[in-house]
Structure 1
């Protein structure tokens, strides 16, 4: 996910540089450092970055196991690791001091801002405490993989302590650069994260099934993907403009028509209930991940 966000940010910077339309009070990023923990990840990431349509004025460096050093020179930090890795990263010697007074954007599923504060400031290496001068400012967010094409549906929740205005602007710029941002209460963060970040996989499964049905009846595979994906995009646009799912279904379906026949098959298979159950079980898994050491 971190690489997808980086791809979207570089693309956004490139577009803003071309149009010269940006008038912002905060300084835009001019350098990126991507930290990885395995030697085998370095070259693949470098190759992927080299293929991105990024802005050459914002170079990307890939560092191996130098998290504290990278954070020390950074102004904005994106924590994009597995939840089980966060404790070791944030509790590393010198990390709390390196994060002092900086903006920490976390996309670790299931780990709230208070939990992240605890991981940083409960360490014996920490000389600051959350809520006091020298602490970092945490934003808990959950984008999705469409960040790479700047179509993410990002969910954002901040800690109880308000962010300084310039940090608020920086956080919004990062996530608005890769899609839309919806703010939710911290209590709804886990459920909302699944609704925005996990459902693209569910929709991809539906797309695969629809494409398989079309190709079985003679439609070219590439044409089927293009047409059905566009139909999904159009459906999404109608929903975003205020039409309810039931209304969209009503507009498309005529009695005894071909759409009605297909809807009957889906309803007989309890597809709506299956999707509902998938979302609910995914949400439960988020809570489980947040409790794992």
Structure 2
């Protein structure tokens, strides 16, 4: 996810399509990795127009990167956040800086609590939670093509207003930004972060059906994706899903016969259960369930 966000931000700056909040945007980036080979993987995914001087990659040196940075994007795998925040010197490096977490299933309070516990151990004193400014954001993989839907967690604490403004500016570069209260963030994580995989499955099924009817896989995929994008644009313009269905499915027509099959299969109930399952599954991510490829 971190690489997708980085790629999208750099692309938006190169194309001039970024946010109006230009003063809040970073101009230099530091990526932190655990293995030397990860640097090559990151650079291979960055836009061609990104100069090497724009992006530095630090290997096993999180504290140095945090000391040098003005804004922190916490984008490790959720089960790794505690070891990261236990590193010697990390609290001093992070104190007073905007920390934006994109960790699924890990609350901002949990991150703040871990930082305070680490700081207390290191300094033999007590750290106030106000020493750390943490908010949550959940973009999705479409950040890489500047088409993400990102939700930001809104807090009433006055000291977090600047962090929220910075996060809004950053994620506006890679798509549309929404806000929500902490209690709704888990559902938003699924709706924003998980559903690209759900939508891909929908397209897979439609494409297989089209291939069975004679289309090539390539043309069927392009048509289905373009149609999904157009449908999303109609909904974003204000058209309700109910009106959209009624306009397409005329009485006695072919579309309503297809919809009948979907209703008989209780498709909407299946999507509701999938949303619930993915949301409840977030709690296991921070308990040591290892993920690969940076997904969740």
Instruction: Name the TM-score, length of structure 2 as normaliser.
Output: 0.89
Which residue number in structure 2 is paired with residue 180 of structure 1? Answer: 176
2:135 to 135, 139, 152: 139
Name the SS for the 2:105 alignment partner.
coil
Deviation at 1:225, TM superposition (A): 1.3
Q: Equivalents in 1 of 2:199, 2:128: separation in Å?
A: 40
Correspondences of 1:1-293 after superposition (within 5 Å): 1-16=1-16, 24=21, 26=23, 28-49=25-46, 52-56=47-51, 59-123=54-118, 124-125=121-122, 129-132=127-130, 135-163=131-159, 166-290=162-286
CA positional deviation for 1:233: 0.9
Structure 1's 55 and 48: CA in aligned 2 closer, same or farther, altered over 3 A? Answer: closer
Return the alpha-carbon distance in structure 2 between the equivalents of residues 264 and 53 of structure 1. Answer: 47
- Asked if structure 1 preserves the Cα contact closer than 8 Å seen for 2:100 and 2:167, the reply is yes
Q: Deviations over 1:222-266 (max 9, x none)?
A: 221111111111111121122222221111101222212211221
1:254–1:79 Cα change, 3 Å: same
Rounded to whole Å, the distance in 2 between the matches of 1:252 and 1:23 is: 38
Q: Secondary structure at the match of 2:222?
A: helix
Once the 2 structures are TM-superposed, how far is the Cα of residue 204 of structure 1 from its aligned partner? 0.4
Equivalents in 1 of 2:24, 2:149: separation in Å?
24
For 1:4 and 1:203, the matched residues in 2 are separated by 18
In 2, Cα distance between equivalents of 1:285 and 1:37:
26
Deviates more, 1:275-284 or 1:233-242: 233-242
- Counterpart contact for 2:100–2:136, Cα < 8 Å: yes
Which structure 1 segments of 5+ residues have no match?
Answer: none
Q: Secondary structure at the match of 1:243?
A: coil
Deviation at 1:166, TM superposition (A): 4.5
Contact residue 155 and residue 181 of structure 2 kept, 8 A: no
CA distance in 1 between counterparts of 2:204 and 2:179 reads 31
| RCO higher in structure (CA 8 A, sep ≥6) | 2
Distance in 1 (CA, whole Å) between partners of 2:53 and 2:175 is 20
Runs of 4+ in 1 over 6 A off after TM superposition: none
Provide closer, same or farther for how the CA distance between residues 57 and 114 of structure 1 changes in structure 2, counting only shifts above 3 A: same
Change (3 A) 1:165 1:115: closer
Preserved contact between residue 139 and residue 150 of structure 2 (Cα < 8 Å): yes
RMSD (Å), alpha carbons: 2.2
Aligned length: 286
Structure 2 CA distance for partners of 1:264 and 1:225, relative to 1, 3 Å: same
Measured at CA, do residues 275 and 27 of structure 1 come closer, stay the same or move farther in structure 2, by a change above 3 Å?
closer
**SS class of match (1:101):** coil
TM-score when normalising by structure 1: 0.90
Q: 1:113, 1:158 within 8 Å by CA — same for their partners in 2?
A: no
